[in-house]
């Protein structure tokens, strides 16, 4: 039951992050699979880190850096704007 709740939490977090970034930044002209691939990679790393309670600060750091990378690669956002969005989300 713990594993299922962690997976649901990570999926909900990634969906919320996508809606948050989509509301702030316009999308770049990328294929749908590039968005899917970026979110699957970030979700898998966050899922692995969520099972280890001692690595909670590392998980926040991965979420912070992953949000910046996704905002710059998949959306039209400058580094300062992506950093602000990441600080606001994480």
Going by C-alpha positions, the residue among 53, 81, 55, 56 that lies closest to residue 67 is 81
Tens-place pLDDT, residues 12-59:
988 898 888 888 888 888 788 888 898 999 999 998 988 888 888 898
- Residues 60-90 as b/e (b if ≥16 CB within 10 A, e otherwise) read eebbeebbbebbbebbebeeebbbebbeebb
Give the pLDDT confidence score for residue 27 in this predicted structure: 84
Q: Is the model's pLDDT at 1 over the cut of 80?
A: no
Give the pLDDT confidence score for residue 32 in this predicted structure: 85
Give the pLDDT confidence score for residue 87 in this predicted structure: 87
Delimit the domains of the chain by residue range: 2-89
């Amino acid at each position: 039951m713990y594993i299922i709740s962690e997976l649901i939490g990570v999926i909900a977090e990634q969906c919320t992050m996508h809606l948050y970034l989509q509301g702030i930044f316009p999308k770049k002209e990328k294929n749908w699979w590039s968005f899917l691939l970026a979110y699957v990679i970030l979700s898998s790393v966050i899922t692995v880190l969520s099972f280890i309670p001692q690595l909670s600060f590392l998980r926040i750091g991965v979420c912070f850096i992953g949000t910046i990378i996704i905002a710059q690669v998949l959306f039209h956002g400058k580094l300062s704007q992506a950093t602000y969005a990441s600080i606001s989300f994480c």
